[in-house]
Amino acid sequence: MNNQTTDELLLDWQERVGAARQECDPQSLLDMIPYAAFIGAQAKVDDQRLLYWLDKRASNIGNPSLPAIHGGVIGGFLELAAAIEIIYSLDVAEVPKVVDFSLDYLRPGRYKTIYASCKVMRQGKKLVNVSAKAWQDDEQTPIATARCHFLI
Amino acid sequence: MAFDMKMALVRPALKYALERNGHGAALGFTLDRVERGETHLTFPYREDLVGNPITGVVHGGTIVTLLDTACGCSAMTVQKKPSVTPTMDLRLDYMRPAQPHKPIYVEAKVYRQSSNVIFCRGVAWQDDKENPIAHCVANFMKVDSQSIQFRSIALKKLRRLMPWRQNPINDVGAK
């Protein structure tokens, strides 16, 4: 990617994570991950928790005849949100590694903003379990729920 | 294998719908092979899809999308009247981290279909198919709605291309 060594990149990463935590700015974490910019994911601190959202954009459409957001985008967005939740709220040095990811699609993702929030269900020494939820109009009617395990 | 006329018609439509539209076009994968209940695709490495800025590994979300697309594509082709199949759920196990700067190959197969549900599984690998980077199981609903059958969608598109004719093809619903 560039000339920096892995150690330098890791130090730089830890510095930025520390700064993001201090300034309560989860968006700066997303800015470091190219995939987040690719799908257009954003984050903010909202009422004691992190709220993620994905504004509608044409390149995220999966089914043009409805139109509906691509199921893979919803999955990728929830996985990204779960990873950011861990990096931001737990004391981890490296980028968490995803082990498995399970996604239930409850409703079609209409062509409008998708919101998401996550909850760390269990934190062990090595493994973290996170559950994530995505909704559009109403938080009580989610469009998808996900559950993932990360190695930290 | 005998020549499959329906697949010969469906294949280019699927290739167009998945490779040239929306998120598929944004990702830029190629469908190498589409058979009844089986899909192979190739995805080149891209730096703007990186999920781990330290190692340069592609984000897991990309792999979710590739496997969802491949499984969905396989599910769509097994039905008597090919139509869009909504995903019910998808489970993905990451066996090993993907290596940067290498293409990802995906293969997905339908292994069972009941009257309402289509069961698929897929693998993603880089060097060795026996050593996959991810394995996935995805289930799809069979929906009995004419409006989402490929035939209806294609006819609707055709109509839009011929605005000078009010009703160029007899009612789509008529058998």
Domain region containing B165 = 145-175
The reported pLDDT for the residue numbered A20 is 87
The answer to whether the Cβ–Cβ distance between A34 and B51 falls below 8 Å is yes
What are the chain B neighbours of A73 within 8 Å (beta carbons)?
23, 61, 65
Count of structural domains, chain A: 1
Chain B residue closest in CA terms to A77: B61
The reported pLDDT for the residue numbered B170 is 53
What are the chain A neighbours of B26 within 8 Å (beta carbons)?
38, 59-60
Regarding whether B152 and B88 lie in a shared domain, the answer is: no
Q: Does B28 touch chain A (CB under 8 A)?
A: no
Element (H, E) at B156: helix B150-161
The reported pLDDT for the residue numbered A83 is 92
Half-sphere exposure of B87 (CA within 13 A, CB side): 36
Residue A41 in domain: yes
How near does any CA of chain B get to the CA of A147, in Å? 9
Percentage above 70 pLDDT, chain A: 98
Q: Does A22 touch chain B (CB under 8 A)?
A: no
Tell me the C-alpha distance between B69 and B63, whole Å. 10
Regarding whether B134 and B161 lie in a shared domain, the answer is: no
Q: What is the pLDDT of residues A87-97, one digit of tens each?
A: 988 888 788 99
Residue A1 in domain: no
Q: Give the type of residue at A112.
A: K
The answer to whether the Cβ–Cβ distance between A97 and B94 falls below 8 Å is yes
Tell me the C-alpha distance between B153 and A31, whole Å. 39
Q: Does B13 touch chain A (CB under 8 A)?
A: no
Residue A130: pLDDT over 90: yes
Residue A3: pLDDT over 50: yes
Domain region containing A55 = 6-151
Regarding whether B118 and B57 lie in a shared domain, the answer is: yes
Question: ipTM score here?
Answer: 0.88
The reported pLDDT for the residue numbered B93 is 94
Q: Does B21 touch chain A (CB under 8 A)?
A: yes
Tell me the C-alpha distance between A136 and A102, whole Å. 20
Count of structural domains, chain B: 2
Nearest to A63 among B51, B84, B88 (CB): B84
Q: What is the CATH number of the domain that holds A79?
A: 3.10.129.10
The reported pLDDT for the residue numbered A93 is 78
Parallel/antiparallel/unpaired status of strands B57-58 and B50-52: antiparallel
The reported pLDDT for the residue numbered B167 is 56
Residue A39: pLDDT over 80: yes
The reported pLDDT for the residue numbered A119 is 93
The answer to whether the Cβ–Cβ distance between A80 and B100 falls below 8 Å is no
Residue A103 in domain: yes
Regarding whether B85 and B160 lie in a shared domain, the answer is: no
Tell me the C-alpha distance between A141 and B10, whole Å. 35
Cβ–Cβ < 8 Å for A74, A143: yes
Beta bridge partners of A145: A104, A133
Tell me the C-alpha distance between A53 and A43, whole Å. 6
Counted across chains A and B, CB pairs separated by less than 8 A come out at: 142
Dihedral class, residue B26 (left if φ above 0, else alpha if ψ from -120 to 50, else beta): alpha
Regarding whether B174 and B125 lie in a shared domain, the answer is: no
Query: In Å, what is the CA distance from B139 to each residue of B26, B95, B160?
Result: 25, 21, 33
Chain B residue closest in CA terms to A10: B54
Instruction: Using the structure block, give the residue that is written with the tokens 């309560």.
Output: A24
Q: For chain B, which residues score pLDDT lower than 70? A: 1-2, 147, 163-175
Q: Does A95 touch chain B (CB under 8 A)?
A: yes
The reported pLDDT for the residue numbered B3 is 76
Regarding whether B156 and B114 lie in a shared domain, the answer is: no
Regarding whether B79 and B30 lie in a shared domain, the answer is: yes
Residue A104 in domain: yes
The reported pLDDT for the residue numbered B175 is 44
The reported pLDDT for the residue numbered B166 is 57
Regarding whether B58 and B37 lie in a shared domain, the answer is: yes
Q: Does B154 touch chain A (CB under 8 A)?
A: no
As to burial, measured by CB atoms within 10 angstroms (0-12 exposed, 13-18 middle, 19+ buried), residue B22 is: buried
Six-digit token string for A92: 């981890």
Secondary structure class of B122 (helix, strand, coil): strand
What are the chain A neighbours of B89 within 8 Å (beta carbons)?
102-105
Q: What is the CATH number of the domain that holds B124?
A: 3.10.129.10
The answer to whether the Cβ–Cβ distance between B56 and A72 falls below 8 Å is no
User: Which residues make Cβ contacts (< 8 Å) with residue A103, sequence separation at least 6?
Assistant: A74, A75, A78, A144, A145, A146, B64, B89, B90, B91, B92
Regarding whether B174 and B107 lie in a shared domain, the answer is: no
Q: ∠ CA B94-B73-B83 to the nearest 5 degrees?
A: 140
The answer to whether the Cβ–Cβ distance between B61 and A39 falls below 8 Å is yes
Q: What is the pLDDT of residues A44-74, one digit of tens each?
A: 998 888 999 999 888 888 877 778 899 999 9
Secondary structure class of B13 (helix, strand, coil): helix
Say what the pTM is.
0.88
Please state, rounded to an integer, the average pLDDT across all residues of chain A.
Answer: 89
